[in-house]
Amino acid sequence: MIVRISLGIALLTILNVPPVSGAEVERHATADGTVAISIAGEIVEGDAEALRLEMQTARFANFPISEIQLNSIGGSLYEGTSLARVVRAASLNARVMERSICASACFLVFAAGSTKSIQNGARVGVHAATMASGANTHISIKATESMGRIAKLLGVPSEIIGRMVSTPASQMYWLNGANLASMGAVITDGK
């Protein structure tokens, strides 16, 4: 069984985000000669490998990677954890760009960033895990507990972890400025 974290159809409707079969992982040149890698869309199996390949390609071309840019409603908890492991191992900075969201499994990727920034107009959210079917089962409860332990290892403050594990998967707790500051995230003007 695949344990997934999903926002549910209601959030997709509110945000007018079409369902995606997998995240798009792409490299973007920046003005300072570095490369930013973006992850946009639903997190599914294979996304961590796609990130590794984009990083390898950038490094082979001698382009330093400045950051990972996130825009995802979440998806596979397992793959989100794998992405977080890649980000942490590479000491990448994480950024949520203006008008983007990073929620659910994406939050672990954001938390793994060496530095974390969010532009005005972006949102970061957390909630408990559920099965791909939306069912809350013994497995999804264990997955939520694991997600909390992983977040703790990533340095996420206990207040945010508490919100994560207590917010039903059908809802979302959107982090406020104080929450973001407590985990060392900086809010920028987007320019």
Band of pLDDT at residue 10, cut at 50, 70 and 90: very low
Q: How many Å apart are CA 94 and CA 122, to the nearest integer? A: 13
Say if residue 16's pLDDT is above 70. no
Q: How many Å apart are CA 35 and CA 57, to the nearest integer? A: 11
| Both structure tokens of 54 | 């984009």
pLDDT single digits (tens) 89-110: 999 999 999 999 999 999 999 9
Global confidence as pTM: 0.86
Q: Which helix (H) or strand (E) holds 102?
A: strand 101-103
pLDDT attached to residue 190: 66
Say if residue 189's pLDDT is above 90. no
- Domains of the chain are 3-181 (3.90.226.10)
Say if residue 14's pLDDT is above 60. no
